[in-house]
Amino acid sequence: MAVSLAVGLIPTIQPAFYQHFPQNFQVILGSSITSTVIVVFVLNLVFNHWGGIAKRDGLVSTAVDAGAVVPSEQDQVDLSDAAVARHHKVDSV
């Protein structure tokens, strides 16, 4: 987040920073919002999609696996009923 904020502040703090870039890049990167969004998008791709890091379990499933939380029978029934309802809703459409 700090990187995207820093890149977004470049046109505001130093307006002549992109003066030696081609005109097309000046139009895109000269806007604080546009340059910030581009950096956020690229960093999201790098860290969340191309990072090669295996998906982690959610906090609840990790706590259940570690024995820190014991789900009640009611919670298990509610989850399975919701899954069945979703399944039937998708099939009927």
Encode pLDDT of 18-39 as tens digits. 899 999 988 888 899 999 999 9
Which residue type does 43 have?
A: L
Residue 54 lies in a domain: no
Q: Are residues 34 and 63 in the same domain?
A: no
Q: Are residues 43 and 17 in the same domain?
A: yes
3-state SS, one letter per residue, for 12-62: HHCCCCCCCCCHHHHHHHCCHHHHHHHHHHHHHHHHHHCCCCCCCCCHHHH
Q: Are residues 9 and 41 in the same domain?
A: yes
Of 4, 2, 12, nearest to 42 by C-alpha is 4
pLDDT tens sequence across 43-78 = 988 887 776 655 666 777 777 778 777 777 655 544
**pTM assigned to the model:** 0.51
Residue 29 lies in a domain: yes
Overall number of domains in the chain: 2
Q: Give me the domain span that covers residue 77.
A: 59-92
Q: Are residues 67 and 44 in the same domain?
A: no
Q: Is the pLDDT of residue 83 over 60?
A: no
Q: Are residues 6 and 41 in the same domain?
A: yes
Euclidean distance between CA atoms 39 and 11, whole angstroms: 14
